[in-house]
Chains A and B, each alone.
Chain A
Amino acid sequence: MSAIWILLYLAGLCHLLALNGFDLQRPAAWLILLPILALLAGGPLRRRAPGLFAPAVLRVAGLLGLAGTLLLARHLHLAGWDVRDAWPDLLAATGGLGSLWVLLGSAEAAAPGAPHWIWIAFWLLTGFLDPALPLVGAGLAGFLSAWGLLPGRPVPLDPPPVMGRTTLVFFLMGLTLSKPGWDFGPRPDWALAGAALGIGALVTQVGPLRLRFARIPDLALPLGIGLLAIAYAPGLLLPWGALLGILVALAWDRAPRPFANARLGGSLLLGMLFSFALHANLWLPGLRHLLWLGN
């Protein structure tokens, strides 16, 4: 569920905001920050108030998460997000909070498996139809988990300490994930890279390949993901996405369990924000040559 929520909802929301703009001078825009704040503060809240994460509450949250993301996608489909309108902010916040609540209440004991990566590939591909649709994938997964319709069980454990390198890998993941979005802008082709990412991740779960991929040293993950941030070419979109997917899946496999949502999700978000800042400041000497091959 962590990979689903972070890659579909969190990354999807960042993509939508980068595409349509984000104006914190409007009070309604602050609503969007609620799921992000909850991601960062959810762990301690769960320890102090476990009643807030009781199965009945999670079911309601799951329902709200699905309703919020569905209504948001229907509202935005073919029209785009008018940032002066408060309604999408409210729906995005409801959908995000609801599905996140389920994630926080059911910390996962195992790394995402093949079905999770197929789910991610499927919903990232729907981004071709509309960039708001991947968020529905997170909302629906949250709903299904909360109602016991997807395999998984709550694990009431605190996450173990996370090593610095894992944090770095998730930061670099955020930085690299957003490249196709910056490149294609309003064109939907970025979604193909997303689908390729899911398929690449799926490959790491296939029987004999799984053992081979397990031999890849940890150091290769930050190096590989960082290199893909530079070696991006739209002509090689699918192999690029698949390669990134392999590294993303390995990173998720090797992250300590239960998954540290706040720290690693926060690192990925920070990476995306940093990526936005880098690509918005290409006037800085040397930067544009580093960020786009051939520039």
Chain B
Amino acid sequence: MIPWLRAYVLALACLLWVGLPLRQRVDRPRTGHPLSTAPGSSPVQEVTTSLPWLLPAATRQAWQAIPGATTSWRFNRATLHLPTVPAAPLAPTFRVVFVADLAPPDHADLLEQFVIEMAALRPDVVLVGGDLTYAETEAWYAAVEAQFLQLERLGIPVLVAAGNHERKGWPLFLRHFGHSPAFRVDIGPLAVLTLDSAHGRDQLTPSQFAWLEDNLNTLDGRTPIIQLHHPVFPAGSAIKGEAGGSGGSLMGFQKAFVRLCQDHSVPAVLSGHWHSDAVFDSAGQLRDDTVDFPGTKFIVTTALGNELRQVTRWPQSYHGYRILDFDRGRLVRYTADEPGSGRRSPIASTPLGVPASRKGTGR
């Protein structure tokens, strides 16, 4: 008995040695993980500390100074529950921009161009659907984070999802964009649910699916939209070639996921990964016939800056992003107009303008 007691005393000493001096990692708010700001929502701040149930003094004092806020613990995960955001009339319109498959370092100008265009467009939120960097270097991750910080300084929150390429530089992704790849942010009329579809090697896993189900059951009247890196459906009969092997789709819980979206009237599920545009209905059919069909829109958006591919029969190919407009929480627009005609395209995203540095280079 005594030897084991001695062992546990030493074990506690080891834990203290690892955890001291007391330090923390801010999980929220941080770049890519903003606070919920929707009226009636309950924003939380989250930190992970180096020892359980102990906050660094500065954080403890700052948290205690917030009137009405309460703290809860799960071992070394501290959550500060801020007072509920007061109810207020919502603006009738709400604009979301979704972007995925960003630029590698040699196409940095495309990312800069995107930030310039967002500064002009002023969406209410930007969703970044994975494959952020394509280069596993600290410098490039920092550069991409700096671009997102620019948007946040403009008052445009950025929500970052992890893609399959993030796995190659996973510690860098965690360091720059947080350790909670699946999270919820209530903003405007929306509950934005960000998933990590590469979490279990190109699939959803049971715990994440259960998390999604729980959140869809507690929407409190908000309109849910979901972003995840992988498209939910394969190209199916609309397939057009191999697309460099990049035509993969969600493997885990795909049918249950679609059913869940139908049951909770999710208007849009946003994905990237294919480097090309596509829109599917709940039956997995490519809808290049109409922009107006019932049920969830499973929307795939082209790459912002990486190599373009053609996965389905949809012929248009360009770098771009997707603008989604909501009117009182209802999705009213998710495609760009057809050039010249002014009619709404059934699938097309918004092309990225040509950066000044590329004008005249024949891009």
In chain A, what residue has the closest Cβ to B249?
Answer: A283
A-to-B contact residues, CB < 8 Å? 19-21, 66, 70, 73-74, 77-84, 115, 118-119, 122-123, 126, 128-130, 133, 136-137, 140-141, 144, 149-151, 182-189, 232-235, 279-283, 288, 292-295
Q: How far is the CA of A113 from the CA of B180 in the complex (A)?
A: 37
CB-CB under 8 A from B17, the residues of chain A are 70, 74
User: Are A150's CB and B171's CB within 8 A?
Assistant: no
User: Are A292's CB and B25's CB within 8 A?
Assistant: no
- From B196, B203, B252, residue with most partner A Cβ within 10 Å: B203
CB-CB under 8 A from A20, the residues of chain B are 170-171
A287 to chain B, nearest CB (A): 9
- Bitwise, B37-78 to A at CB < 8 A (1) or not (0) is 000000000001011100000000000000000000001110
CB-CB under 8 A from A126, the residues of chain B are 15
Which of B171, B200, B206 is close to A82, meaning CB atoms less than 8 Å apart?
A: B171
CB-CB under 8 A from A292, the residues of chain B are 205-206, 252-253
Question: Does B179 touch A at the CB level, under 8 Å?
Answer: yes
CB-CB under 8 A from A293, the residues of chain B are 206
Instruction: Classify chain B's interface size.
Output: 35 or more
Contact A128/B175 with A74-B18, A288-B203 known, Cβ cut-off 8 Å: no
Contact A78/B25 with A19-B170, A282-B252, A292-B252 known, Cβ cut-off 8 Å: yes
CB-CB under 8 A from A74, the residues of chain B are 17-18
User: Are B7's CB and A149's CB within 8 A?
Assistant: yes
A286 to chain B, nearest CB (A): 12
Question: Does B332 touch A at the CB level, under 8 Å?
Answer: no
B168 to chain A, nearest CB (A): 7
Q: How far is the CA of A288 from the CA of B202 in the complex (A)?
A: 12
A95 to chain B, nearest CB (A): 12
Listed from nearest, the 4 A-B pairs whose CB atoms lie closest are A234-B207, A280-B201, A80-B171, A82-B171
Can you list 9 A-B pairs, Cβ within 8 angstroms, ordered by A? A20-B170, A78-B48, A122-B8, A129-B15, A144-B3, A149-B7, A185-B205, A282-B203, A292-B252
User: Are B76's CB and A129's CB within 8 A?
Assistant: yes
Q: How far is the CA of A119 from the CA of B8 in the complex (A)?
A: 8
User: Are B200's CB and A182's CB within 8 A?
Assistant: yes
Question: Does B104 touch A at the CB level, under 8 Å?
Answer: no
Q: How far is the CA of A21 from the CA of B167 in the complex (A)?
A: 7
Not counting A129-B50, A137-B11, A144-B7, a sample of 7 additional A-B residue pairs whose C-beta atoms are within 8 angstroms of each other reads A77-B18, A81-B171, A129-B76, A150-B3, A184-B205, A186-B174, A188-B77
Q: How far is the CA of A141 from the CA of B11 in the complex (A)?
A: 9
Q: How far is the CA of A186 from the CA of B208 in the complex (A)?
A: 11
A3 to chain B, nearest CB (A): 15
User: Are A233's CB and B4's CB within 8 A?
Assistant: no
Which of A66, A149, A189, A294 is close to B207, meaning CB atoms less than 8 Å apart?
A: A189
B103 to chain A, nearest CB (A): 22
Q: How far is the CA of A80 from the CA of B50 in the complex (A)?
A: 13
Q: How far is the CA of A122 from the CA of B4 in the complex (A)?
A: 12
User: Are A21's CB and B206's CB within 8 A?
Assistant: no
Q: How far is the CA of A182 from the CA of B51 in the complex (A)?
A: 25
CB-CB under 8 A from B156, the residues of chain A are none
In chain B, what residue has the closest Cβ to A234?
Answer: B207
CB-CB under 8 A from B172, the residues of chain A are 82
Question: Does B240 touch A at the CB level, under 8 Å?
Answer: no
Q: How far is the CA of A183 from the CA of B208 in the complex (A)?
A: 8
Which of A84, A140, A185 is close to B11, meaning CB atoms less than 8 Å apart?
A: A140
User: Are A282's CB and B201's CB within 8 A?
Assistant: yes
User: Are B171's CB and A234's CB within 8 A?
Assistant: no
CB-CB under 8 A from B200, the residues of chain A are 182-183, 185, 279, 282
User: Are A70's CB and B206's CB within 8 A?
Assistant: no
Question: Does B181 touch A at the CB level, under 8 Å?
Answer: yes
CB-CB under 8 A from B253, the residues of chain A are 292, 294-295
B44 to chain A, nearest CB (A): 16
Which of B15, B175, B203 is close to A80, meaning CB atoms less than 8 Å apart?
A: B175
CB-CB under 8 A from B48, the residues of chain A are 78
User: Are A183's CB and B170's CB within 8 A?
Assistant: no
Question: Does B24 touch A at the CB level, under 8 Å?
Answer: yes
Contact A140/B10 with A77-B19, A150-B4, A234-B210 known, Cβ cut-off 8 Å: yes
